[in-house]
């Protein structure tokens, strides 16, 4: 669909669009619209939901009516969802690479074992990323797979993409809720004490002169912009007091949450250059961030069974496991979180 310049339109939100962010909904409806255009129209109160002003991050609900003002998409532009671009635009080598990462697929989702160093989405100076390369995972007539959640560039492991907007919305709700299980494996400097526990508190993006705006810091509950984060953890094995293999379950999904929390308890994740501690790094460990999204369990659909997806460890973590004497086979039940969470 393209903008009808000079005419206000009122569009209903469909069932499979329920709980979508307004800015993403607009980009899907009107191909080529930019974030800047949306922010300007929202700020001026020209975009309304059921007659009320809204923000770009407002989540639209099925049955609501969205008033869209006349705006023209920039010539030659493309929004977030440039699904019309043919798969041939992905280089053959990149297409082969992204296909090799697939560890699970059905008629609704595709799951990848994301490697270290590959960004999930584009940004300043980043043009090679999973969001763009995912076109190669489907044929030319299919909708481009949609990201459901995120992993940091250097975090490895399970990453889920949806095959349609409706599935993306459903899974997005699950990831924001506590209705699915995620487990990460990390190698930490030192051993968390006690060996099983929880870390909770408020955090916020750093700001101010010299502050890294992409780094989280501790915050007070009353501080504007602060968010609450909860992580459950369990030490699986340890190498004396030098290092530990830790299973992590994030109850909330905040930016850099696991990395921040482990550094906060004085046991930073091996290879993390942003969130550090003053412990010495044991000799012989592999380079790279030692944080891996090991397993994900999605709740059962009607009449089905839960989907359990497990991602093999990356080579750099396998090497470190060997150096520290950790036995990956010593734990098989990835979804036994009884020690890692309170009863719901």
Q: Could you give the maximum distance between any two Cα atoms of the chain, in Å?
A: 70
Q: Please, where are the H alpha helices in the chain?
A: 22-29, 35-43, 92-100, 130-133, 165-176, 257-264, 315-324
231 SS3 class: strand
Phi, psi torsion values for 242, nearest 5 degrees: -75, -40
CA proximity to 126, closest of 153, 102, 147 = 153
Q: Which residues are catalytic, by number?
A: 152
129 SS3 class: strand
Which residues does 304 contact at the CB level (< 8 Å), separation at least 6? none
- The secondary structure element, H or E, covering residue 293 is strand 291-298
- The dihedral built from the CA positions of residue 261, 267, 272 and 273, taken in this order, carries a sign that is positive
């Amino acid at each position: 669909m393209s903008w009808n310049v000079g005419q206000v339109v009122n569009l209903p939100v469909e069932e499979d669009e329920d709980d979508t962010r307004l800015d993403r909904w607009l980009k899907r409806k009107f191909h080529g619209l930019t974030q800047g255009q949306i922010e300007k129209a929202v700020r001026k109160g020209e975009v309304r939901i059921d007659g009320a002003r809204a923000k770009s991050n407002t989540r639209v609900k099925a049955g609501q009516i969205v008033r869209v003002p006349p705006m023209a998409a920039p010539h030659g532009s493309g929004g977030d969802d440039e699904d019309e671009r043919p798969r041939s635009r992905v280089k053959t080598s990149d297409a082969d690479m992204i296909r090799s990462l697939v560890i699970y697929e059905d008629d609704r989702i595709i799951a990848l074992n994301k490697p270290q160093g590959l960004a999930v989405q584009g940004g300043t100076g980043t043009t090679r990323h999973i969001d763009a390369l995912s076109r190669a995972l489907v044929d030319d007539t299919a909708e481009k797979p949609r990201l459901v959640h995120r992993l940091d560039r250097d975090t490895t492991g399970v990453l889920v993409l949806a095959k349609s907007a409706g599935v993306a919305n459903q899974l997005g709700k699950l990831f924001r809720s506590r209705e699915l299980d995620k487990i990460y494996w990390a190698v930490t400097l030192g051993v968390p004490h006690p060996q099983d526990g929880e870390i909770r508190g408020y955090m916020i993006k750093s700001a101010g002169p010299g502050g890294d705006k992409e780094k989280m810091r501790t915050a007070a509950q009353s501080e504007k912009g602060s968010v609450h984060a909860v992580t459950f953890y369990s030490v699986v094995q340890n190498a004396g007091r030098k290092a530990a293999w830790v299973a992590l379950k994030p109850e909330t999904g905040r930016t850099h949450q696991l990395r921040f929390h482990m550094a906060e308890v004085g046991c930073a994740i091996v290879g993390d250059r942003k969130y550090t501690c003053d412990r010495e790094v044991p000799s012989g460990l592999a380079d790279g961030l030692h944080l891996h999204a090991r397993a994900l369990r999605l709740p059962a659909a009607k009449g089905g069974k839960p989907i359990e997806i497990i991602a093999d460890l990356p080579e750099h973590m396998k090497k470190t496991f060997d150096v520290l004497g950790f036995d990956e086979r010593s734990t098989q039940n990835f979804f036994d979180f009884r020690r890692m969470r309170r009863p719901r």
